[in-house]
Amino acid sequence: MTLFIGADHRGIELKNAIIEYFHEKNIRIEDLGPYELDPLDDAIDYSQKVSNAVLQNPDNHLGIVICGSGCAVSMAANRIKGVRAGVAMNEDQARHIRENDSCNVIALAADYTPLELACKLIDAFITSTPKTEEKYIRRIEKLDK
């Protein structure tokens, strides 16, 4: 599995710390930017980069997008067909969006999520598996239309 991560200026510090955490765990994580602080950057740009990377191999790639609220990156990711992004604020929600909603991108709110919690959210997300019962598949098919 490869994780792709991107953030805006409000999420860059959290993004960099998350990358370090996953490198220490020997989990492959690719930084799609930004690489330096730019107060005028747009969350949408990085969310789209992460989303497009995830779609290159949807069975083996997941994404992490970060902005101040988690909302802008989530909205931008969900505009791309095949991407299902959800904001997670606690571990149960992180598992839920992966298992029940088949999210392939987790959106984090840098202004409200300390590093320790962010790492727990991502761990819960990436260790969960989407459910395959008919009702879950049907819902994803409706979204993809």
Tell me the per-residue pLDDT of 5-14, one tens digit each, with 9 for 90 and over: 999 999 999 9
pTM (2 decimals)?
A: 0.97
In tens, the pLDDT along 47-80 reads 999 999 999 999 999 999 999 999 999 999 999 9
Q: How many domains does the chain have?
A: 1
**In this structure, what CATH number is given to the domain that contains residue 54?**
3.40.1400.10
Which domain, by its residues, includes 70?
2-144
Find the Cα–Cα–Cα–Cα dihedral 126, 54, 26, 93, rounded to 10°.
-20
Give which of 115, 107, 125 is closest to 50, Cα–Cα: 107
